Amino acid sequence: MDRLLIRGGKRLEGELRASGAKNSAVFMLCASLLADEPVTISNVPHLRDITTMIELLSTLGVDVIIDEKMSIEIDASTIQSLVAPYGLVRTMRASFSVLGPLLAKHGEAEVSLPGGCAIGARPVDQHLKGLEALGAEISMHDGYVRATSGGRLKGGKFIFDFVTVGGTEHIMMAATLADGVTVLENCAREPEIVDLADCLNKMGAKITGQGTDCIMIKGVERLGGCHHDVIPDRIEVATYLVAAAATGGKVMIRNANPAHLDAVLVKLEEAGADVTLGDDWISLDMHGERPSAVSLVTSPYPGFPTDVQAQLVALNSVAEGSALIKETIFENRFMHVQEMNRMGAHIQGAGSNTTVQVKGVPSLQGAQVMANDLRASVSLVIAGLVAAGETEVSRIYHIDRGYEQVEEKLQSLGAEIRRV
């Protein structure tokens, strides 16, 4: 199994280009199932989660053509199966969201339940209630969800019990082909939801209100082909900015959208970074200084993203002062803490708590570490970059799910990192 070896202690300096947003692209691949004609998605990152989704589409009999620049053409008119098997859905929760598009287009579908997840229970109750509000009949058997609609879904009103990103995207997709108008309330407002709605509208959907907590979808009878460019990956951008800040470095990230990163940039400035913004770039300069500790609470967009929490714990572990980090989206999302403490960090309160206190130390010590989720793993890479000596991060298949060419990108910023 691949591991990353990092020799820490170097300031990150240089320039890199952000990839397209994984969390947009995976849902657009689901959305392509709604169309009668080929849909082309470009600026797609080359990642394991994307390959898994393509494998799932191929299993359904959908034609997928990928070019060398990761522009993906999906022709769902060749579909042969309406069953998404456990083997694929289990490895990536977002793939559960093929259920709504398959149901909306074909009147029936069967998708395996995603199963447990390393960062908490992550049930799909809101997805299922939302589909039921559009007239779907849902039943369970042998770990599979079966949904039928006996014709078109019916437009309706649905209020999410709480904010869910995947739930909002799932029901929004299903409602595009429903008969009548759907109003979704208490929706998530993430930029990836706006990106997905923009893509669906190019296919002929009639969606308004995306990016607010109330989305209205006027159902149409069919959707056609389109070409859509995925937005930049704000979580990837944030990760490299935090990594640079933790090392006292200076970076310029191109192909970024600063408007999507307000909550993170505020925290980086609080940590002592000079941040400069352009239309599609962000530069950060720590002037060689050690960061100051910054407290934060994760919350749905536009709040501080849970997907950047672990990276900020890594930064705080070597900061001047002490910080409180509160996680409100997922239970059990502090798996990086014990590993960082093995590297000499002073972090208290992990376990079942939702808040940890990080007391910054001048430097961490390299160690052999591993984590079992994507963002926790990358936070250990950041810890390795600020540690003295060598750090070995194992189970990096988690990182490969969400970070394109992570070691090449870090090497281009001067990091001593290699895959073995």
Q: Which residues bind ligand UD1 (CB under 6 A)?
A: 23, 26, 93-94, 120-127, 164-167, 188, 192, 306-307, 329-330
Q: Is 405 left (phi over 0), alpha (psi -120 to 50) or beta?
A: left
Catalytic residues: 117
377-393 as b/e: b if 16+ CB within 10 A: bbbbbbbbbbbeeebbb
CB of 381 to ligand UD1, least distance (A): 18
Q: CA separation (Å) from 368 to 25, 89, 343, 383, 387?
A: 33, 31, 9, 12, 12
Q: 395 vs 183, 370, 381, 399, CA distance in Å?
A: 42, 6, 12, 8
- Pick 124 or 145: Cβ nearer ligand UD1: 124
Compute the least distance from the CB of residue 66 to ligand UD1, in Å: 20
CB of 234 to ligand UD1, least distance (A): 11
Residue nearest to ligand UD1 (CB): 166
When the beta carbons of 75 and 198 are compared against ligand UD1, the nearer one is 198
What is the nearest approach in angstroms of ligand UD1 to the Cβ of residue 127?
Answer: 5
- Residue closer to ligand UD1 by CB (options 257, 391) is 257
Nearer to ligand UD1, 52 or 164 (CB): 164
Write down the least CB distance from residue 356 to ligand UD1, Å.
18
For ligand UD1, give the closer residue by CB, 93 or 336: 93
3-state secondary structure of 177: coil
For tokens 């991060």, name the residue.
Answer: 393
Residue at 57: amino acid letter: L
Measured between alpha carbons, how far is 281 from 17 in angstroms, rounded to an integer?
A: 9
Compute the radius of gyration of the chain from its Cα atoms.
21
Coil, strand or helix at 13: strand
* Beta-bridge mates of residue 207: 217
